[in-house]
Structure 1
Amino acid sequence: MLIKSLPSNHSDLAGAYNVVARVYLEKNELNLALENYEKAYEIRQKQSPSHPSLIVASLHNIANILREKKMFDSALDYFQRAFQLEETTYPNDREQKAIILQNMENTYLEKDDIDTALDHLLRALNIV
């Protein structure tokens, strides 16, 4: 397998784990998808601190899987971490922040927390 043949510091390793995660996601194998997204995230934290957008994407991917698994509080934690990193590193990227807030809104809806969902929706609308 390609991943096993790459050295642990290879620049494409995180991307390879992301591709594997997407394949598992398509097969609805959420645990394996999550495992591979988490590996990609760990690698990106070490290799790509100067590219926070990659780390935000990894956090977002993990959050989406956790939401699929109905692990709403954990998903919200990852969405919040993605939002904070986005806010800190790209304060003018309104679109990405709005997308994260909308995902948080959807997660709160799935938790039947309508008031908090509405709050996040309004925050997203105010950003764009």
Structure 2
Amino acid sequence: MTHRIVQPEGWLPAKGYANGVLTRDGTLHIGGQIGWDGDQRFVANDFVGQMRQALRNIADIVEAAGGQVSDVTRLTWFVTDKRDYLARQAEVGAAYREVFGKHFPAMSMVVVAGLVEDDALVEIEATAHLS
């Protein structure tokens, strides 16, 4: 097999996608994570709360694959409200550091009209390299 599906223990199964795919060379591709928990329930209805949970989800997937957040090399953020993101930069930074510490991989941000889950305000996908 050239890859392994990564699913944190106790999470409801993903429907129609994989939360993580680990390739033989140690590259971990993490599907877009939103602000819901392993039971697929939103933990917050604000941008910062959802962002924190999405990052925690990424950390959980990396750890389930045997890595740690410092193995993350890329994050791509999809946000529905650029102004909310910009207005809350101090809170965004604090929430980011709660999960990722001072590890700052390559990042991109894309402003989108909406996400598949209507209540989602942010979706973050990631790539990690596990040795």
TM-score between both structures, scaled by the size of structure 1: 0.32
Of the two, which has the highest radius of gyration? Answer: 1
More helix by share: 1
TM-score between both structures, scaled by the size of structure 2: 0.32
User: Which structure is higher in RCO with an 8 Å CA cutoff and minimum separation 6?
Assistant: 2
